Amino acid sequence: MTSLKRWLTPEELREFKTWKRQGTKRVSAYAVHRSKRGKKRKERKCYKQLRRECEIRCHRYLKKFWPEFNLYPEKESRIRLLKAAANPAWQRVPDKLRLSLRSEYERKKWKLLNMPPSECACCSEEGVKERHHIIPLAFGGINDELNLIGIGIKCHTEIHPWMK
């Protein structure tokens, strides 16, 4: 029974002991463990596939976004474009993926967008800059310089009102 404790949750171990007492023939504990592992592998595969789909969708959107962003020099137009990108038409990603993207960003943030403090990309105002994900991580935005832009605090709070 000690080897079963490694493979089964407490509820499954109780069920297994009950089956043994009743003399009911059931699937072995190892088979149960293997099926759980298979399920985890399948979940991992789906997670990687979802992440890849998000990257592709993000790259497609940003290929259209940047030429349009560079076309408009005025602040209002750029803010409008950034607001639209911050609320894309597709669904949010699962929390597991979002948290993984966030932790990846935290690990790599000093490598990404390594710019000297200069001007805001929206209003050209001198001052402190913040890193802004054009497509938010909650919607599957990527941690790449293509998806990051340096903007001032005022413009950032204008794009995300909850940051006030």
Q: Quickly count: other Cβ atoms within 10 Å of residue 14's Cβ.
A: 11
Q: Report the pLDDT averaged over residues 63-77.
A: 93
SS3 71: helix
| Domain count within the chain | 1
- Token digits of residue 45: 């595969």
Q: What is the pLDDT of residues 95-142, one digit of tens each?
A: 888 898 999 888 887 776 666 667 888 888 887 678 889 999 999 999
Asked if 120 and 152 touch (Cβ cutoff 8 Å), the reply is yes
- Asked whether residue 30 carries a pLDDT value surpassing 50, the answer given is no
Q: What is the pLDDT of residues 4-26, one digit of tens each?
A: 455 556 766 666 666 555 555 44
- Asked whether residue 91 carries a pLDDT value surpassing 80, the answer given is yes
pLDDT of residue 28: 47
Asked if 64 and 89 touch (Cβ cutoff 8 Å), the reply is no
pLDDT of residue 82: 93
- Token digits of residue 88: 């894309």
Q: What is the pLDDT of residues 39-65, one digit of tens each?
A: 555 566 577 888 888 899 999 999 999
- In the block, tokens 């076309």 appear at 71
Using pLDDT thresholds of 50, 70 and 90, give the confidence band for residue 27.
very low
Q: Which uninterrupted H or E stretch holds 133?
A: strand 129-133
Per cent of the chain over pLDDT 70 is: 67
Following CA atoms 51, 56, 58, 59 in sequence, which dihedral angle do they give, to the nearest 10 degrees? 140
Measured CA to CA, the distance from residue 164 to residue 151 in angstroms comes to 15
Domain residue limits at 112: 2-19+26-163
- Asked whether residue 85 carries a pLDDT value surpassing 80, the answer given is yes
Q: Report the pLDDT averaged over residues 73-82.
A: 92
pLDDT of residue 46: 78
Measured CA to CA, the distance from residue 135 to residue 132 in angstroms comes to 9
